[in-house]
Amino acid sequence: KQEVTQIPAALSVPEGENLVLNCSFTDSAIYNLQWFRQDPGKGLTSLLLIQSSQREQTSGRLNASLDKSSGRSTLYIAASQPGDSATYLCAVTNSGYALNFGKGTSLLVTP
């Protein structure tokens, strides 16, 4: 059974810092990996989708990398802003189609 782990569980940084969120998964035979953002009381917003054949994806200040063989992905956030404060979730899809989620990293960016 696929297990997805996210480290750290919570992170607090001052505005302007660059930061890295980590995600690891036990079964490397993934179809794709997706990073989401969840604001309190809201649904999930998709940030980046990396197919298994890709190494990274970029969107604005966000960069996600994927090392499938080692079962790891990182989400890099450049020049963090208070508006980036949210919970970030990593999820992988194996040969099926359901997303297997980590428990998330709660990020607080202080002004």
Partner 1 sequence: GAGVSQSPSNKVTEKGKDVELRCDPISGHTALYWYRQSLGQGLEFLIYFQGNSAPDKSGLPSDRFSAERTGGSVSTLTIQRTQQEDSAVYLCASSSRGGGAGTQYFGPGTRLLVL
| Alpha carbons 12 and 8: distance in angstroms, whole number | 10
Question: 17: which DSSP letter?
Answer: -
Binding range to partner 1, per CB under 8 A, among 20-28, 57-65, 72-80, 90-98: 90-98
- The mark string for 28-67 relative to partner 1 (x by CB under 8 A, - otherwise) is ---xx-x-x-----xxxxx--x------------------
Q: Are 102 and 5 in contact (CB under 8 A)?
A: yes
Considering only 20-28, 58-66, 67-75, 87-95, which stretch makes contact with partner 1 by CB under 8 A?
Answer: 87-95
Rounded distance between C-alpha atoms, residue 82 and residue 109, angstroms: 5
In the complex, the smallest distance separating the C-beta of residue 43 from partner 1, rounded to whole angstroms, is 4
Q: Cβ-count burial of 13 within 10 angstroms (0-12 exposed, 13-18 middle, 19+ buried)? A: middle
Q: Which of 23, 77, 86, 99 binds partner 1 (CB under 8 A)?
A: 99
Q: Which residue has the tokens 């604005």?
A: 60
**Residues within the interface to partner 1 (CB under 8 A):** 31-32, 34, 36, 42-46, 49, 89, 91, 93-94, 96-104
